[in-house]
Amino acid sequence: MDIISHGLWGGITLGRENKKSFWTSFIFGIAPDFLAFAPFFASVFLGFAEFPKFSTEPPIPDGIPAYVHNVYSFTHSLIIFAVVFGLIVFANKFLSPPSLKLRRTPWEMSAWGLHILFDIPTHSNAFFPTPFLWPYSSAHIDGIPWAHPAIFIPNIAILIILYLYFFAYKKRETNHF
Ligand SMILES: [Zn+2]
């Protein structure tokens, strides 16, 4: 899935409570890709690295440095997500001082897990298949790339419908009070 769709899916599923919750979910939704690719694109922009050949479809991942693949594996593992989320929930409940304690479970973080679930069937072997069981297994699915119209168009259509419904619903609610 493209990075903006990931953010929008996170926001609409986990961040409907208020603006802060929305943007937190949005950020957790984009984080797995942002953390993997932003340092690399920044280094290309600053002239420290060469831009890879993205002219082919799907793009050839060979020009992308190993560290991007390593961070990508880390951020696209359901195991890593579950461990980090579990540790944060545990630390918040039992270890954090009252001044730092969150009032509730930070469900917005699950936008990270949702990102991985969406990526599993929408990446093919040719370009960053999702290593969702990393580091225990290299299992992955040879899916349909998210840029394929069969994925891309329904994805955008469903997002538009959900957001229109959400804003219409919110407007009705505020008119009501
Ligand atoms: Zn991703």
* Residue 91 alpha carbon to ligand 1 centre in Å: 27
Residue 174 lies in a domain: no
* Residue 115 alpha carbon to ligand 1 centre in Å: 6
* Residue 26 alpha carbon to ligand 1 centre in Å: 13
Residue 166 lies in a domain: no
**Predicted confidence (pLDDT) per residue in 3-25, tens digit:** 999 999 999 999 999 999 999 99
Neighbours of 2 (CB within 10 A): 16
CA 129 to the chain's CA centroid: 14
Q: How far apart are CA 139 and CA 131, in angstroms?
A: 6
* Residue 67 alpha carbon to ligand 1 centre in Å: 15
pLDDT at 134: 97
Residue 170 lies in a domain: no
Structural domain including 61 reads 3-147
Residue 154 lies in a domain: no
Cα–Cα distance list, 57 to 54, 71, 156 (Å): 8, 23, 20
**Predicted confidence (pLDDT) per residue in 51-107, tens digit:** 776 666 666 677 788 999 999 999 999 999 999 999 999 999 999 888 889 989 999
For 88-120, b/e burial (b = at least 16 CB within 10 A) is eeeebeeeeeeeeeeeeebbbbbbbbbbbbbbb
Number of domains in the chain: 1
